[in-house]
Amino acid sequence: MLLMVGLGNPGPEYAGHRHNIGFMALDAITHAYSFGPWRSKFSSQVSEGQIGTTKVLLQKPETFMNRSGLAVSRAAHFYKLTLDDVLVLHDELDLAPGRVRVKDGGGVAGHNGLRSIAQSIGTRDFKRVRFGIGHPGDKAKVTGHVLGNFAKADKAWLSPLLDAFVAAVPFLVDRDDGGFLNKIAALTKPNQHKTASAPADSAHRPAPAKAGDRG
């Protein structure tokens, strides 16, 4: 089994936030691959299905971003999964809008969801799919950027990106990261070209929010 975790904050008021692109990617999978209905388990919403010959559990933690690790560790422990069986999808300030990268382990770059997972499972050596949302260009504006809705102009690249992700995800499930990235690049090249000039350098994300741990 592959545990595919999308990071985000629960509730309709956060659904359109840039910080919730991990949730959006999982929703796109459920629609394209006829996954089961979402149900509550492991302090999350989970949906089970199959991509190719691999059984996949999709997980959207409901613990808020800063405590994502609690939900992930519960699911991984229940199914006795190894690190190779865990894949985390998240927003990335260090990438221009529409860009996607796969990373094995490494730092958390100030991302509160990644930090929580690393603390809960005791290591940073889990695979991530990083969806670029760009940087607002001013460190003081980072909070409003990640915890703000995608702008109307973003729809020009966001919808095609999610469609490309869905088309390429079988490569990801088969552990063919190169094939996954090549497929996305082929399907989104015009959109990436349009966003290539967007600022991509990132400052650290803000410290975890105290009110509800929603950061």
Residues carrying an active site annotation: 19
Beta bridge partners of 55: 50
Closest alpha carbon to 33 in 13, 58, 62: 58
Beta bridge partners of 127: 87, 104
Q: Give the H/E segment covering residue 104.
A: strand 100-104
Distance from C-alpha of 99 to C-alpha of 188, rounded to nearest angstrom: 9
Q: Give the H/E segment covering residue 90.
A: strand 86-92
